[in-house]
Structure formats: C-alpha cells, structure tokens
Structure 1
Amino acid sequence: MRRSRCAAYVGSLLLTAALALTGAATAQASQPAATGGYVALGDSYSSGVGAGSYISSSGDCKRSTKAYPYLWNAAHSPSSFAFTACSGARTDDVLASQLGPLSSATSLVSITIGGNDAGFSDVMTTCVLQSDSACLSRIDTAKAYVDSTLPGKLDSLYSTIRGKAPVAHVVVLGYPRFYLLGQTCLGLSDTKRSAINGAADYLDTAIAKVAAGHGFTFADVRSAFSSHEICSASPWLHSVNWLNIGESYHPTADGQLGGYLPVLTNAA
C-alpha cells in the first residue's frame, strides 16, 4: 500500500513538473500572405512541443522544425523569420522575452497564448490523478481566472504587439478540444473528458473576444482537429506519455502539419 501511494505521488510530481515546462475558433477572411517579416510568438503549441525534431539552440523552449511556424516559413519564404515561441510561456513571458523581433517591417505575427496563464498544467495533473469532482472543481477555478484576469493579460499583450508591429496582420490561434467523446477509450472518465473539452471551448471563446477587440484574426483549430482528438482512430494529440511526459496533451507532428498549419495558412 505504501509503495502504491509513493508511486502515485512520484507520478504526480513528474506530470506536474513536465506540464509546467510545456504549456498545458473562428477565422476571419483570409488575408494576403506576408510579404514582409514573420514573427512567431507564443507557448508550447507554437514552439512545437510534441512534434519532435527540436532545434538544439532553442534549449528548453523546444522549438521544432515540425512546428507550424517553421513549416509556414518554409512554404512561403517571408523576407525574414523570427521564431521566439517558447515552451511554458505565459502572457508575461511573451511580453518580457519574445517581442524583440517585432518592428514596422513585420507583416505577419502568429501566437498561441493563454493556456498556461489559465493553469493548463495543474488542470491536467488534477484531472489525470484525482477524482471527477476534483477535476471539475479545478476546471471551475481555471474558468474563473479566464473570466476575471486573463482578458486583461491578453489586452496588455495584444496592445504591445500592435505598438511594436503597427502594420502586421496578427493571427491568434486557439487550442483544440482534447477528446473525441463517446468512444471506448482507456484513461479518463467521460465526465472528465467532457469537462476538459468544455474548458478548451471556454478558453477559446475568451481569447477570440479579446483578439477581435484589437482587430486581430482569431483562427479556430477545433474543426481542423475534429476526428483527430485523443480517443480517435488517428489522434493528432498526445495523451499521457510516461516515457516522454513533456509531450503529453500536445499536438503531434501530424497535428502541427494537418491541424495548425492549414489554419494559419488560411488566416495569414
């Protein structure tokens, strides 16, 4: 009994630590592709955690050559490309360390941000390791943060981006739903899966509202990931992976290529 409790405790610490390092909607009409510079900001969903092929010089930011910003750059050859997205980033981190490449010559900016601010890692740790009621309670806490605090954080960040890149087309990409519901699938209960999906929708709605207020394009990836969620026959998201825990709940290389890249391409 003691060994079982110890193993669960160690598992909890590993999941919490790894997710904390990695980050844990409607596109407007397509705009002309960037002819100036492209700057890719954001968290682990933009840096490419889970896709592999990480650029060694990016260190713990884990920027991948299979991430959608890198793929878009290769396909469209903008005049310049700055890839500053970083695993684990919150809005304050983007403000502090990612905006240096922005300028009047920047014509396209992409970003995913907000998941870590809302407590992605703690939500998933709670839902994986604790009861349905604990999971739902933690999600309610995250939603309260999304209501009370996240809009102000996003507003400050978006205003700064616009100030530094006054003519750029800014694409704010959302987050996918994690689970295909109604399937026989090992792991979390249907109650937890449904609540987690609902939390993703809640976050996307909040991000989209602030983005629209700044005239930015909110690019919804949920349709792109439809039928490719966890529990589907062809998932584009990692479930819990104890061999490489940091990739848990992040898009695979296929998710970056087939999910995020086409959405950015349509919105850019």
Structure 2
Amino acid sequence: MSIAGTFRTLAAACLAAAGLVAFAGPVQAATNYVALGDSYSSGTGAGTCGRTTTAYPAVYADKTGATLNFQACSGAKTGDVLNNQVGALTASTNLVSITIGGNDAGFANILISCLLGGDSGCKSATDRAKTYIHDTLPGQLDQVYAAIRSHAPNAKVVVLSYPHIFTLAASCPGQPSQTSRGYGNSVADALATTTQSSAAKAGFTFSDARTTFAGHEICSSDPYLDGGNYHPNVNGHAKGYVPALEAGVG
C-alpha cells in the first residue's frame, strides 16, 4: 500500500472510532399512511366507495412515496369510519388523514333544499344542520378520534375541513341564489368550527381547506369544485386538498 493510501486508511479508522463518519444520512421512517373519511377524501369515481387515483390521498402518496392504505368511502358517516375503516390502523401507522361529518349533518340534502326550496327552504335546512353540528356532531367526532388514537397510537393525524362550496359573486348560473349560497357556506363554517374543536381536544392537527380553496369555489373563474356534484374536481384534490394535507403534516 502506498504512503497516501496508508494515511487514508488510518484517517478513516480514526474518524470511525470517533463516530464521525456517516456514510448515509439518518434513516427516515417509511410513511405508512391511512386515509379515512367520506367522498371528499375518496373522490367520486366508480365502484362502491368511489375511490380515485386523482383523490388527494393517492396524489399525496404518489408525490411523497408514502405507502397508502386507502379506506375513505363515498357516503361515509362517523359510524362507518368506526365500523369499517379504523380497523386498518395499526401501531405502525404514522400518518392518518380524515374528512368526516358532512354526511352526518345531511349536507347533500341541504344543497338540494338550497337549489329547489328557495332562500326560505335553504335557511330552514341549514339551520337544522347547524343545530345538529353544534349539539350532536361533537360527540360523534370524539368517538371517531378516540378510536383513531387507540388504533394508531403513534400516528400524526391530520383532520381536514370542507371548503366553502360557492363563491358569493352576484352571478352564478344554475346555482342557488346569492343568499342561499351564503347559507350553504355557513354550514361549512359550522362544520369547521366543530371539527377544529374536537380535533384539538384529541391532540390532532386541524388543517383548513377553506383557505386552500379560497377563490376557487363554484362559479369562480377557476373552480376547484364540480358544479354538478359539489365535490372537489381534479384540481380541487391536487391544488386544494394536497396543500392542506401538506400544511397539516408540516
């Protein structure tokens, strides 16, 4: 061995002994990600649960390399998460996302009332929903969040809100009146307030999709929601919900 080679060998040995040689960076834990919730998480595709590869859990997993267990299901209520979804969580789950509560509050029926019932019918429907959200939904969310923590004790849990559905611009062809659109958006606000409170109580992270969807509601120039089914479109998942999830993950 040459003198230079000897010096290199001795130097490497000394550094290794001192714990100063690192041949690679710190090992990062693999992200075992479980996506729970309703159609705002599953997407609105074909099949029983409507899961799509363009829904935000799949887009996020593809972007980050996370291993995704996709449990979210169209039409799910809090009871469905408890009965059919939380069983996918384990101690090795280290990331969970969820949207839930809208179906419990009857959000689809609210939209129908606002479309067909005029401002009076819309207000009656939204008032009933907000009473439910205030009085009944917190207990249901508490049960769901407790079950998530019990099944996934080591997970970062990101609770995502629902966005405002409508812009309040004066003109919005084919949609409820400006007044009724405001009533509809107020339900999203009530859901966000209740969800944020319950998430905080559980020690979970709340991430507000109303922020990432702002300016992209139905009847805006670049809507992130479909004006026919009132769910996020491809951009809504990729540009609305993925950033909201990323903000929650930190």
Q: What TM-score, normalized by structure 1, do the two folds share? A: 0.80
Quick check: 1:265 aligned with 2:241? no
Quick check: 1:220 aligned with 2:201? no
SS in 2 for 1:256: helix
1:25 corresponding residue in structure 2: none
- Work out the CA distance in 1 between the residues paired with 2:102 and 2:179: 21
1:93 corresponding residue in structure 2: 80
Q: 1:95 to 1:34 in 2, by over 3 A?
A: farther
- The runs of 5 or more residues in structure 2 that have no matched partner are 1-27
SS in 2 for 1:87: coil
Whether the 8 Å contact between 1:34 and 1:108 is mirrored in structure 2 is: no
> What amino acid sits opposite 1:145 in the alignment?
Y
- Work out the CA distance in 2 between the residues paired with 1:44 and 1:107: 22
Count of equivalent residues: 221
Query: What aligned pairs does 1:75-224 form with structure 2 within 5 A after superposition?
Result: 75-78=63-66, 80-186=67-173, 187-224=175-212
The alignment yields a C-alpha RMSD, in angstroms, of 1.3
- The runs of 5 or more residues in structure 1 that have no matched partner are 1-32, 241-247
Superposition deviation, residue 35 in structure 1: 3.0
How many percent of aligned residue pairs carry the same amino acid?
49
- Work out the CA distance in 1 between the residues paired with 2:109 and 2:168: 22
Whether the 8 Å contact between 1:36 and 1:105 is mirrored in structure 2 is: no
1:254 corresponding residue in structure 2: 235
- Work out the CA distance in 2 between the residues paired with 1:223 and 1:34: 30
SS in 1 for 2:212: coil
Query: What aligned pairs does 1:27-38 form with structure 2 within 5 A after superposition?
Result: 35-38=30-33
Query: What aligned pairs does 1:6-85 form with structure 2 within 5 A after superposition?
Result: 35-49=30-44, 54=45, 59-78=47-66, 80-85=67-72
Q: What TM-score, normalized by structure 2, do the two folds share? A: 0.86
- Work out the CA distance in 1 between the residues paired with 2:62 and 2:29: 13
Whether the 8 Å contact between 2:36 and 2:72 is mirrored in structure 1 is: yes
Q: Which has the higher contact order (CA 8 A, sep 6+)?
A: 1
- Work out the CA distance in 2 between the residues paired with 1:185 and 1:75: 35
Mean CA deviation greater in 181-190 or 33-42: 33-42
- Work out the CA distance in 2 between the residues paired with 1:201 and 1:223: 12
Q: 1:132 to 1:34 in 2, by over 3 A?
A: farther
Q: 1:35 to 1:225 in 2, by over 3 A?
A: same
Superposition deviation, residue 34 in structure 1: 7.0
Bigger radius of gyration among the two: 2
Superposition deviation, residue 207 in structure 1: 0.5
Whether the 8 Å contact between 2:69 and 2:88 is mirrored in structure 1 is: yes
Q: 1:89 to 1:165 in 2, by over 3 A?
A: same
Deviations 1:22-56 (CA, angstroms, capped at 9, x unpaired)? xxxxxxxxxxx97341100000000012xxxx4x6
Mean CA deviation greater in 121-130 or 158-167: 121-130
Whether the 8 Å contact between 1:38 and 1:107 is mirrored in structure 2 is: yes
SS in 2 for 1:98: helix
Displaced runs of 4 or more, over 6 A: none
- Work out the CA distance in 1 between the residues paired with 2:146 and 2:124: 33
SS in 2 for 1:142: helix
Whether the 8 Å contact between 1:183 and 1:231 is mirrored in structure 2 is: no
Whether the 8 Å contact between 2:57 and 2:68 is mirrored in structure 1 is: no
- Work out the CA distance in 2 between the residues paired with 1:180 and 1:36: 36
Whether the 8 Å contact between 2:61 and 2:68 is mirrored in structure 1 is: yes
Superposition deviation, residue 183 in structure 1: 3.5
- Work out the CA distance in 2 between the residues paired with 1:175 and 1:83: 19
Superposition deviation, residue 121 in structure 1: 1.4
